[in-house]
Homo-oligomer: A and B are copies of this chain.
């Protein structure tokens, strides 16, 4: 079940413009212009974000894009007060959730391991929750960078009532909202001063 490398012996590297767009210069936006984000852009972001890996190809992330006036009215009261004005100004807000029943797709997404669906089914939602959240969180990292790859600014927010957002937009107990992210084009004074990163010595070690 192996195939010949699809790549040249030497893998491509990301150039400085790409590094700036995704990592070194990109910033979290706190205001947005009125310029819309199109359906085509949102689908193209997902086209890109779907590819990096998840454990056993589980892909548990689910995304609801809130754009309508009605959707926004349901969401805003469930956010921390400090996040409401900027969210009201964003053309689209993505609700990023883990699907605790991700295993239902396993016969298609991971055919190399027959019985995986049944094994995970026996664990129940509580037993699958860590795997769902961990892999959905990896996918959120991919999605944030995929949005930046499309020339959009992201505004991830942890300040919201997770139980209430889950109940309002993903009722039934199958999902758990992990993060709320504004997407759009940066408006006036969109950026706070950059906060310091840890020293490499506080993060990296060698064994």
Q: Which residues does A use to contact B, with CB under 8 Å?
A: 1-7, 9-15, 17-28, 30, 39, 42-43, 46-53, 55-57, 59, 61-68, 70-71, 74, 95, 105, 108-112, 133-134, 137-142, 144-146, 148-154, 156, 158, 169, 178, 185-186, 189-193, 195-198, 200, 202-207
Contact = CB atoms under 8 A, between A and B. Distances in A.
Contact of A23 (B51, B55, B105): B51
Contact of A43 (B18, B19, B50, B200): B200
Contacts of A207: 64-68, 70-71, 74, 95, 169
Contact of A197 (B4, B19, B51, B156): B51
A17 B24 contact: no
Contacts of A146: 23
A148 B11 CA distance: 8
Of all A-B residue pairs in the complex, the 10 with the closest CB atoms, nearest first, are A141-B141, A137-B137, A14-B149, A18-B18, A71-B207, A2-B189, A55-B158, A13-B151, A12-B21, A57-B195
Nearest to A158: B55
A52 B93 CA distance: 18
A134 B206 contact: no
Contact of A51 (B2, B24, B43, B137): B24
A176 B20 CA distance: 31
B64 A151 contact: no
A25 B10 contact: no
A52 B20 CA distance: 11
